[in-house]
Structure 1
């Protein structure tokens, strides 16, 4: 239908949704059907099948009827007829909940080993983001069509850190048909043991050596005891169990594991087994920031024997010790997907430049940097600066047209998502929003459509969807969408009053809460700046909020005052180091105090060596955000490297660490 014929209905919808957006979630619940819908939500959480079935007819025609119908059918999916399921899929065709229910049904079909129906239904499954469902689909292909799925099966299975029926069944089936071998199974067991997942390790061993699989639990509980045992017959399986024991021992004492490998087991293991074990010992030593980590990795003589995870830790250990040749060789051994990650592209380019023996190597380094250089992220910004450029605000895209805005507003999935969020069901709303904007789903969005959807979320002040949607554009960047500044007056006033860079405050808030005012973490941190209750109470006293009470932490002004006050105290304790202060804000101050010990490092290398993945990513994102916010706020070119600086031990002349800082 031509757009001008749709315009009256779209304008009516604009008016309706604009009025709805002014209502609070509590007021929205008074609208027709909302009370019933929220009652269904409670019934779903309580697994009350009877109540769900009784209430569903009252929601016919409600905006969120597909979600309510999904709850009702999902609760009885194990007993529902195929006609009921197919009826739901037809009625809500094209919606997120059609795909969500098909995902749940595919899991049940796989557990029942109904391969013809798995194959038929998987063809219509659009999200394809459930690894267990993917394993069931591969099993159907292997069983029904005799397809060779071994390579993809191993990729999926290795990525599943915990045990699941789908990928375990697939591995067992492929092993019985000699499509994957014993080494493939033992590698899965090694990965699982290193990830602290004994059940997954046991399941893998059970396929290859069922009589020995019970040993996995004993090894997990006491690896040293297993290694001390006198084993009369050193079979292939017994040696692999020793590798698992060395991996488990390395988690707590990498040096002891190294001694065991040197003293007894090294001569018994194959080169591949030794290489993997030395790499795990090196990884564990690197995560403890031991200077000998790179010496353990040096005992690996064939990088192709290692997984990407182990190679990444080899790179980090080499960076910490300035061993650019090791960085270069390890990045060469990464899989194609990992090698294209901006982090490893950047460090490979740096390694090439540092070890260059000809202009060809220098030119290759420059080419790698040019391939990732942009303002989009931490390593992309560093690449820009390596090329002699600065971080500036990119040119804004052409303004959205009324038609583009109207189409976003009329999108049923976005409507339902916003309605759910307004009713307080943020998780449900976020999932439907993400589905509706994903290119792999019906109506998936190009860059202009993503900008329009992000604009809709910004207008409704649903800042997390605004940012996350705008972040996904490829060819264009709208900085004002990606880096919004809600509560600008409060943030700037509070920051300036205590001598804080407001760009740093905004960079941290964007990472902490995405500007969700009522955000609450699983550990109890609250509000825009995600402040823990005890920290809030302590900081309130330090900054003179004598009348502070715990319920005030979700007040915008109070949360920003306490969050910026605490951040300033942390920043001062780390002598103005933004990377260390960000790490302290995320992981507590005691950890970065320990992480700073050792050689003086450029802060990008220090950040890449942070042992915790969450904190490692957090520091990089906060500093990248900060640099972009500074470009927006000041209108001037910025440097990420200047904000990073270097990190090393606390200077002897520096004041003692603030022991009271929580």
Structure 2
């Protein structure tokens, strides 16, 4: 049945390659290469003429962008205005205008700045900070926005330094807000900006740069110093808090011991609560039992969203449903209403015997084809089912999207392997379109084998859905063959690959993982040897067939190492097979709780998506309701494990 389904799916897909080469492609690529090298003269020669190539705007954009960036040169204002007018509404126009706005701000040409700034659709943080410095009508709005990100803006563009300082100099923020920003920067390991922000303090609370450097550079040594034992004023106490925070990132128990030895009546109650909040957060990330006790000592302090989340996760691991509910109730409303915490709030209410309230919580989270959307649906006693499929894309709808300049540019960019530009054009083009246009874009992408873009567009629909496109199953025969050969659950394999590569065979991660199953070169070589393949060749990772063979063999290996448990194995495939073992408990744990308390954000998100994807593919392949709750099952307790090979990559 599954193979017949595959044939039907492929027939619907009608796969074709991205349109063939264009006569002007060489010129486009030559201009791209010149832009990459910074060859201004070469770019100018290529841009001196024009063509009707769909990517011609890029040949004109690259030299203009370079000239805007060269502050020592006069900007070609007429050429910039001409480009913006001829390409109005496009992503390239938005990009060039953003660059132009920043230069105008840098040169304090405020009249021209305001005229261009008002036309930006999505001004970035740096552009907003120039607006905050301007004397024009956008300054007040930009300054209010800057106030709103005082604690959350961690990577600060240089243009933001002046307006941030102005918030202090004008009395909008005082010393308390400076210390709050200092704390948040230290918490997030932004030590350079943290050193800078203390220079904004009023003279009465000033702290020497040498003291701050000592606390941040070698916290253990600083905490043993006289400065830490006898802190001088607010600044002295805050540097001790910073050193404790810094040390807790590497050894939370040592940091706690140091703090106990330094705590004294000199510290305010809020400062003590802050330290325990930091220690509790790090203990929760390290999955230490002390986390819950330390969180209890931090209740009076304002916590970040991440700290609050880990307070609930620590309570989940401890099985303390009263603390789960209390932790969620203490979250800000926007965080509390996220599906994750709505579901766990329902579970806590259920455990407290408040069945009716629990059902209301589950109803709020149920519906979407996400980890918690599916679990909440099942908690209501219902089987998850796909929504009614939208009407098929019509020939007229497909023709309209195919003729759109944005779509033609995206296809041409993919053809030339200019993926970064293609992804940005795609996102820009679809940012405000309706569901029917999204479905037509998904169909166009699918017909051109751009499976990642097809999934991306289908994922974004709001009311009309086509889950057969959201959960495409290309290369079905290859995956089915290898799943059978390795005795793997095919739906789970598809769920994993959808998350790994979105079925893009040329996908390459930032760390070098390749192909459909994102196999690392060292892993591919190792598993090939383990499978008895001789004369390993790096090209095996870029070939669809051999990539799936090697990836499936490695997935089988990870599953064997990790108790045949799909939750553990998904985590192991992403983070290496050693870590998921350390994340277990001394007793069996509900699979959903294990997934939610994975300490690496990327892996936690990955596992939840893989498991939810697997349920959707199982529903597609089997044509019957399935259960994510059952699939997650129980994660076994830590214990005797299959030993990792000495040469395990």
After TM superposition, the score normalised by the length of structure 1 is 0.89
Residues 1:44 and 2:38 are matched in the alignment: no
Query: Are 1:454 and 1:467, in contact at CA under 8 Å, matched by a contact in 2?
Result: yes
Q: 1:371 aligns with which of 361, 364, 384?
A: 364
Q: Residue in 2 aligned with 1:14? A: none
- 1:540 to 1:76, Cα distance in 2 relative to 1, 3 A: same
- 1:586 to 1:613, Cα distance in 2 relative to 1, 3 A: same
Q: Residue in 1 aligned with 2:12? A: none
- 1:105 to 1:334, Cα distance in 2 relative to 1, 3 A: farther
- 1:150 to 1:261, Cα distance in 2 relative to 1, 3 A: farther
Query: Are 1:529 and 1:559, in contact at CA under 8 Å, matched by a contact in 2?
Result: yes
Distance of 2:617 and 2:363 partners within structure 1: 23
1:513-662 map, 5 Å: 513-652=501-640, 655-656=642-643, 661-662=648-649
Distance of 1:467 and 1:589 partners within structure 2: 29
1:443-454 map, 5 Å: 445-454=433-442
1:3-14 map, 5 Å: none
1:138 deviates by 4.0
Give aligned pairs, total: 626
Q: Residue in 2 aligned with 1:408? A: 401
Query: Are 2:317 and 2:593, in contact at CA under 8 Å, matched by a contact in 1?
Result: yes
Residues 1:355 and 2:355 are matched in the alignment: no
Q: Residue in 2 aligned with 1:76? A: 67
Distance of 1:474 and 1:572 partners within structure 2: 40
Residues 1:106 and 2:101 are matched in the alignment: yes
Q: Residue in 2 aligned with 1:3? A: none
1:56-455 map, 5 Å: 56-78=47-69, 79=73, 80-128=75-123, 130-140=124-134, 147=140, 152-208=145-201, 212-231=208-227, 234-265=232-263, 267-302=265-300, 305-356=302-353, 361-439=354-432, 445-455=433-443
Q: Residue in 1 aligned with 2:5? A: none
- 1:19 to 1:633, Cα distance in 2 relative to 1, 3 A: closer
1:150 deviates by 6.2
Question: Mean Cα displacement is larger for which, 596-605 or 292-301?
Answer: 596-605
Query: Are 1:36 and 1:58, in contact at CA under 8 Å, matched by a contact in 2?
Result: no
1:276 deviates by 2.4
- 1:253 to 1:116, Cα distance in 2 relative to 1, 3 A: farther
| Cα offsets for 1:93-135 (capped at 9, x unmatched) | 111001111222233344445555444333211134x233333
Distance of 1:545 and 1:20 partners within structure 2: 31
| Cα offsets for 1:555-595 (capped at 9, x unmatched) | 11100011011101111111211111011111111111211
1:656 deviates by 4.5
SS at 1:568 equivalent: helix
Query: Are 1:537 and 1:548, in contact at CA under 8 Å, matched by a contact in 2?
Result: yes
- 1:352 to 1:302, Cα distance in 2 relative to 1, 3 A: farther
| Cα offsets for 1:169-203 (capped at 9, x unmatched) | 32211111111222222222212212111112122
- 1:270 to 1:599, Cα distance in 2 relative to 1, 3 A: farther
Distance of 1:402 and 1:52 partners within structure 2: 40
Query: Are 1:168 and 1:204, in contact at CA under 8 Å, matched by a contact in 2?
Result: no
Structure 1, gaps ≥5 residues long: 1-17, 440-444
| Cα offsets for 1:463-499 (capped at 9, x unmatched) | 1111111111112321111111111111111111221
Distance of 1:136 and 1:331 partners within structure 2: 38
Distance of 1:91 and 1:321 partners within structure 2: 62
Distance of 1:152 and 1:334 partners within structure 2: 22
- 1:48 to 1:269, Cα distance in 2 relative to 1, 3 A: farther
Query: Are 1:382 and 1:640, in contact at CA under 8 Å, matched by a contact in 2?
Result: yes
Query: Are 2:50 and 2:56, in contact at CA under 8 Å, matched by a contact in 1?
Result: yes
1:393 deviates by 3.0
SS at 2:162 equivalent: helix
Distance of 2:54 and 2:141 partners within structure 1: 45
- 1:547 to 1:223, Cα distance in 2 relative to 1, 3 A: closer
Query: Are 1:375 and 1:391, in contact at CA under 8 Å, matched by a contact in 2?
Result: no
| Cα offsets for 1:417-455 (capped at 9, x unmatched) | 11101111011111101100002xxxxx11111111111
1:614 deviates by 0.9
